[in-house]
Structure 1
């Protein structure tokens, strides 16, 4: 079938078009420098730099230590969204609604890309004071309950490579205290769940458990999040029990 010609929209926005073209180039071609983007788009270097920085801000791109840019978490997930993230989201939504109905707190599904996690599905609690919808948001994995249980599933070699100092050369302050993180992951591995007390957002507590595929690999995490003023430590076993039960049902459906 011959390709269909698409006329440009009547009110084309050049900056949006250029940003989308850059995103496509990064995903399809790999890393690019500012000067290469400038040349390809026929724009000034300063314009190319501003566009790339906006893509970095929205997680469509990341900047490497050599100052080149490559596809970011959003595009990395999109590359296999139909086979992984999109299917996970569709399968998980009914279970998230069930968790909210049982626990009366907001529920989330997260997946990991490198040292970050993305919330691919989120269902809000109906309570007036609640944690809002986080769908589409990206956080450092070590700062979320779901991220901790996913990191805990890594082999020692994979973990070491992921948090090697050279990966944070451009932004060394983003590298966590590795010794403290190793200890936290050991606790999460033993317990089978993780708790995030204000690490991703002040005043918010979350509890997360892994969702595993047929081979036992953690492919996602289920979590519930709530305002810290409503959290009671003695209720933790209840949160974990319900999360594990719902995660087990989701795992059976995914298989």
Structure 2
């Protein structure tokens, strides 16, 4: 018996509706019906069930949007992992020293997902939220983690990125040549940190270092990022000892002995 034979289609439809609502501010029954190719009655019944269980709410315009229940569940999962709680004091220290935005992220399939961050207080700053995702291959956080994965795992992740239509040039600086990306990963493994030179967001630069667990597996990464006019090469050179040391200390608290 294969996995597909065990799929509960009503649950699959509900999950598709939740994923669709996560990408928009709000949608009505008719809009969701057209978007997903489901009958209006089916969409309405699923939305009613989700609303009664607290996963969506109805707006004044009689459309539907997600509330914070999924966020709360996700937070509980992250807290159980323990990385965020362990890393947060080091994020605070990094933010105090650098005065820039600091981030903690994990890999989720082909994306990096921010699970904690402290925003810079400077007038010009990035302004992203916890839960934001970016393709791993073109971010400092993602490259820092990819560099310490097996070549086979890297190939699978890049293939997933391609299948999702994300393996493209997001800025003029985005690197999409596989051979060049793999050269980058070799350099990152040697130096212990990665740099984002406006690879995904124009005008944003940063550097990141990987975090390992007790088994030596890369589990997360931390970064410092900010506007390119402030994050110069000289600033990156001054920040990287702090970022590397913070990542090393967090890894040690997670049981890593390397």
Shared fold by TM > 0.5?
Answer: yes
Q: How many residues align?
A: 199
Residue by residue over 1:175-218, the C-alpha shift from the partner in whole angstroms, topping out at 9 and shown as x without a partner, is: 94322211111111111110001112111111000011122221
The aligned counterpart of 2:15 is 23
Write the mapping of 1:75-86 to structure 2, written as runs, cut at 5 A: 81-84=78-81
> Deviation at 1:224?
0.1
Matched, 1:251 2:248: no
* TM-score, length-scaled by structure 2: 0.65
Question: Does the CA-based 8 Å contact 2:209-2:243 persist in structure 1?
Answer: yes
Give RMSD over aligned pairs: 3.6
Question: Does the CA-based 8 Å contact 2:135-2:166 persist in structure 1?
Answer: no
> Deviation at 1:159?
1.6
Structure 1: 5+ residue stretches without partners = 1-17, 28-33, 48-73
Distance 1:171 1:130, change over 3 A: closer
Write the mapping of 1:223-238 to structure 2, written as runs, cut at 5 A: 223-238=223-238
Distance 1:229 1:170, change over 3 A: closer
SS of alignment partner, residue 248 of structure 1: helix
Write the mapping of 1:1-255 to structure 2, written as runs, cut at 5 A: 22-23=14-15, 38=38, 42-43=42-43, 81-84=78-81, 87-164=82-159, 168-169=162-163, 171=165, 174=168, 176-255=176-255
> Deviation at 1:107?
0.3
Distance 1:238 1:216, change over 3 A: farther
SS of alignment partner, residue 15 of structure 2: helix
> For 2:198 and 2:80, how far apart are their aligned partners in 1?
33
> For 1:106 and 1:130, how far apart are their aligned partners in 2?
8
> For 1:22 and 1:37, how far apart are their aligned partners in 2?
13
Distance 1:41 1:214, change over 3 A: farther
Distance 1:211 1:228, change over 3 A: same
* TM-score, length-scaled by structure 1: 0.66
> Deviation at 1:94?
1.8
> For 1:146 and 1:209, how far apart are their aligned partners in 2?
7
Distance 1:142 1:254, change over 3 A: same
Structure 2: 5+ residue stretches without partners = 1-9, 20-33, 48-70, 170-175
Distance 1:99 1:172, change over 3 A: closer
Distance 1:219 1:40, change over 3 A: farther
Distance 1:156 1:20, change over 3 A: closer
> For 2:41 and 2:249, how far apart are their aligned partners in 1?
49
Decide which moves more: 127-136 or 88-97: 127-136
Distance 1:205 1:42, change over 3 A: same
